[in-house]
C-alpha cells in the first residue's frame, strides 16, 4: 500500500528490524516500536507519548529531514541520560511518507 | 495499625474512583501512594494536559479530572497514606492482609486492590557506577529537610525546575551551592532561570555548564564529585562537596510489588478479567494500567470499569453469602459516610381534577 513506509529500527540488543509503518494512522515512531514489540512492555512510551519520560529516546542514523524539535522534547532530552547529538524522542516523530527509509536505533533503557 | 475494608495501592484516577464505587457498597477505603499527593501520573506528569476520552467530558485537564475524582470520593471519607511506598504484604490467619510501607506504617484489610498504574515513581538516577554506595551518605535524590544542608557544601545537577528551585532555595542555607547542567540553557520557569543568573552574579551559586558529574568520590561519605565538561569529556576536574543531589525527575517502576508473589507478565500484573480482576493471590486485585489480560487497553476509562467490577467481588469477600442488588444512583441516591445524602429531587405530582 502506498501509505506504508519501510523503516529500520535497531533494538536495544543491537538487532536490526525492517518494519513497515503506516502513515495514515497518525502513528509516531514510539508507537511503531510498541506495535512491533521491539522493546519490552513498560520500557518504552511510559508517559504515553507526551515527551515526558524519554523512554522512547532513539538515535537517528539516517539523514532524513525530521520535524523540528519542540520545547517539550528539547527539555526532556536536556534531562535524559545517554543523550547524543542525534538523539530524538520517538514519540515526537510522526510517520509520514517522507520518512521512507528512516533508520533509527533505540537508546539504552534508563 | 490502619484498618479498612479495601486497601488501595495507588491514588491515581483508578484508585480514587474505587473509593466511590466501594462507597456505594458501604465499603471503606484507604489509599497508599509513594507520591506526596493524590492523582498519580495525571497530577505528577501532565496536570495541564487535556484528556479527550473521559465519557461525558469532551475535554478535561488531567489535573481537573484528579480534582473532580477527589471531590467525588470525599463523601466516602477515604484515608490516605501519602509519600510512602507499599513495601511488604503478609497474609494473616483470618484471611486479611497487612501491608507495610517503606516508613513502617502498617495497614490491614481483607481486600487489597493494586491500582498502581505504571508503578511507584522513583528518582531517575544518573548513570554513575559507584553512586549507590553513597546513597544516604551524601547522595540524595529528594530534599526532605533543607536544614540538613545548613552551612554545608552542596552540588546539584539537573536542568529542570527542581534543580533551579532548590539551587535558589539552598543558596541562603548552604555554605556553597554548585549547579551543574549538561547544557548552557535551562528549561525551567523564566523567573527561576533569571534568579539563578542573579545569584550567580552575586557569587551565591557556582554554575558549571555544559558539564556532567561522572563520578562521586569519598571514603564512606561524599567528599567530592568528578565533573567533565560535556564538550571536552577528557577535561575533568573535582568539585569538593558534602552533598550531591541529582535532580533528573521521576521514573515509574513496579517496585516492591514485583516481589509479592503475584504473576507478572510484560511488567504488569496478570489478572482474571473474565471474572473480577483478581490476581493469582485470592483477595488481591489489580486494576487499571498496572494489570494485564488478553485485550487489555491502558486507558483511564478501562480502569474505572475494572474498579467497578472489582468492588462487587470485594463486597462478596467482605460480606460472604450476603446478596447485593445493583442499584442506580439516580434511583437510590448516595449516602455518604460523612452523613450527607444526595438524591434526585422528587417529582411533583399534580392530580387532575
Whether A79 sits inside 8 A of B160 (CB atoms) is yes
CA distances from B127 to A64, A83, A108, B181 (A): 30, 12, 11, 14
B251 touching A (Cβ < 8 Å): yes
Which residues on chain B are in Cβ contact (under 8 Å) with A53? 45, 251
> In which residue are the cell numbers 477505603 written?
B29
> Best residue in B51, B118, B164, B253 to probe A by mutation, most A CBs within 10 Å?
B118
- Comparing CB atoms, the residue among A53, A74, A75 nearest residue B251 is A53
Q: Kindly state the cell numbers that stand for B233.
A: 569529556
SS3 content of chain B, % helix, strand, coil (to 5): 25, 30, 45
Q: Among B162, B182, B179, which Cα is nearest to B171's?
A: B179
Three-class SS of residue B190?
Answer: helix
Report the distance separating Cα B316 and Cα B303, nearest Å. 20
Q: Kindly state the cell numbers that stand for B122.
A: 522513583
B48 touching A (Cβ < 8 Å): no
Which residues on chain A are in Cβ contact (under 8 Å) with B49? 50
Report the distance separating Cα B110 and Cα B317, nearest Å. 8
Cα angle B270, B276, B281; round to 5? 50
Per-residue DSSP letters for B85-106? -EEEEEE-TTS-EEEEETT--E
Report the distance separating Cα B50 and Cα B38, nearest Å. 18
The pLDDT value given to residue B143: 86
The pLDDT value given to residue B234: 65
Report the distance separating Cα B234 and Cα B29, nearest Å. 56
Q: How far is B239 from chain A (nearest CA, A)?
A: 21
Q: Kindly state the cell numbers that stand for B293.
A: 489480560
Q: What percent of chain A has pLDDT over 90?
A: 66
Q: How far is A31 from chain B (nearest CA, A)?
A: 14
Which residues on chain B are in Cβ contact (under 8 Å) with A71? 187
B184 touching A (Cβ < 8 Å): no
Helix axes B62-74, B13-24, angle to 10 degrees: 20
Q: When comparing pLDDT for A85 and B235, which is higher?
A: A85
Three-class HEC string of chain A = CCCEEEEEEECCCCCEEEEEEECCCCCEHHHHHHHCCCCCCCCCCCCCCCCCCCCCEEEECCCCCCCCCCHHHHHHHHHCCCCCCCEEEHHHCECCHHHCCCEEEECCCC
Name residues whose C-beta falls within 8 Å of residue B49's C-beta, 6 or more positions apart in sequence: A50, B61, B62
Report the distance separating Cα B215 and Cα B134, nearest Å. 11
Residue A78's pLDDT band (boundaries 50, 70, 90)? Answer: confident
Q: How far is A54 from chain B (nearest CA, A)?
A: 10
Q: Return the residue of B nearest to A74 by Cα.
A: B187
Whether B46 sits inside 8 A of A79 (CB atoms) is no
> Best residue in B13, B41, B246, B247 to probe A by mutation, most A CBs within 10 Å?
B41
Contact B318, B5 (CB under 8 A): yes
Report the distance separating Cα A59 and Cα A57, nearest Å. 7
Per-residue pLDDT of chain B (353 residues; tens, 9 = 90+): 999 999 999 999 999 999 999 999 999 999 999 888 899 888 877 888 899 999 999 999 999 999 999 999 999 999 999 989 999 999 999 999 999 999 999 999 999 999 999 887 778 889 898 999 999 899 999 888 899 999 999 999 998 888 999 999 999 999 999 999 988 888 777 888 899 999 999 999 999 999 999 999 999 999 999 999 866 556 889 999 999 999 988 777 888 999 999 999 878 999 998 889 999 999 999 999 999 999 999 999 999 999 999 999 999 999 998 988 888 888 888 999 999 999 887 777 777 77
Stretch (H or E) spanning B40: helix B40-44
Whether A110 sits inside 8 A of B127 (CB atoms) is yes
Amino acid at each position: 500500500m502506498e501509505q506504508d513506509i519501510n523503516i529500520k529500527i535497531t533494538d536495544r540488543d543491537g538487532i536490526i528490524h525492517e518494519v513497515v509503518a503506516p502513515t495514515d494512522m497518525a502513528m509516531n515512531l514510539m508507537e511503531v516500536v510498541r506495535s512491533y514489540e521491539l522493546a519490552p512492555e513498560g520500557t518504552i512510551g511510559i508517559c504515553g507519548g507526551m515527551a515526558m519520560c524519554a523512554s522512547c529516546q532513539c538515535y537517528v542514523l539516517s539523514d532524513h529531514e525530521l520535524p523540528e524539535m519542540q520545547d517539550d522534547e528539547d527539555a526532556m532530552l536536556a534531562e535524559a541520560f545517554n543523550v547524543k547529538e542525534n538523539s530524538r524522542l520517538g514519540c515526537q516523530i510522526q510517520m509520514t511518507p517522507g520518512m521512507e527509509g528512516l533508520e533509527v536505533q533505540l537508546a539504552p533503557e534508563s | 495499625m490502619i484498618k479498612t475494608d479495601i486497601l488501595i495501592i495507588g491514588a491515581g484516577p483508578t484508585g480514587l474512583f474505587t473509593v466511590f464505587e466501594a462507597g456505594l457498597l458501604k465499603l471503606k477505603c484507604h489509599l497508599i501512594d509513594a507520591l506526596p499527593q493524590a492523582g498519580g501520573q495525571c497530577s505528577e506528569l501532565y496536570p495541564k494536559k487535556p484528556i479527550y476520552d473521559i465519557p461525558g467530558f469532551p475535554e478535561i485537564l488531567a489535573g481537573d479530572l484528579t480534582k473532580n475524582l477527589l471531590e467525588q470520593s470525599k463523601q466516602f471519607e477515604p484515608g490516605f497514606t501519602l509519600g510512602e511506598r507499599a513495601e511488604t504484604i503478609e497474609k494473616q490467619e483470618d484471611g486479611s492482609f497487612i501491608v507495610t510501607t517503606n516508613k513502617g506504617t502498617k495497614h490491614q484489610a481483607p481486600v487489597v486492590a493494586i491500582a498502581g498504574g505504571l508503578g511507584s515513581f522513583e528518582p531517575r538516577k544518573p548513570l554513575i557506577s559507584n553512586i549507590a554506595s553513597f546513597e544516604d551518605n551524601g547522595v540524595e535524590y529528594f530534599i526532605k529537610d533543607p536544614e540538613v544542608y545548613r552551612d554545608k557544601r552542596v552540588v546539584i545537577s539537573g536542568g529542570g525546575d527542581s534543580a533551579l528551585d532548590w539551587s535558589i532555595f539552598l543558596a541562603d542555607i548552604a555554605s556553597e551551592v554548585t549547579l551543574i547542567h549538561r547544557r548552557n540553557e535551562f528549561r525551567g520557569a523564566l523567573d527561576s532561570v533569571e534568579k539563578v543568573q542573579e545569584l550567580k552574579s552575586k557569587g551565591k551559586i557556582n554554575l558549571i555548564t555544559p558539564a556532567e558529574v561522572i563520578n562521586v568520590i569519598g571514603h564512606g561519605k561524599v567528599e567530592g564529585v568528578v565533573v567533565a565538561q560535556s564538550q571536552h569529556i577528557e577535561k575533568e576536574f573535582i568539585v569538593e562537596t558534602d552533598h550531591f543531589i541529582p535532580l533528573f525527575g521521576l521514573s515509574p517502576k513496579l517496585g516492591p510489588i514485583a516481589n509479592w508473589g503475584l504473576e507478572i507478565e510484560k511488567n504488569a500484573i496478570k489478572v482474571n478479567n473474565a471474572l473480577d480482576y483478581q490476581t493469582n493471590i485470592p483477595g488481591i486485585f489489580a486494576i487499571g494500567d498496572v494489570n494485564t489480560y488478553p485485550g487489555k487497553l491502558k486507558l483511564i476509562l478501562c480502569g474505572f470499569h475494572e474498579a467497578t467490577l472489582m468492588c462487587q467481588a470485594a463486597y462478596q469477600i467482605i460480606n460472604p453469602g450476603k446478596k447485593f442488588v445493583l442499584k442506580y444512583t439516580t434511583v437510590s441516591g448516595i449516602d455518604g459516610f460523612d452523613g450527607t445524602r444526595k438524591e434526585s429531587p422528587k417529582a411533583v405530582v399534580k392530580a387532575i381534577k
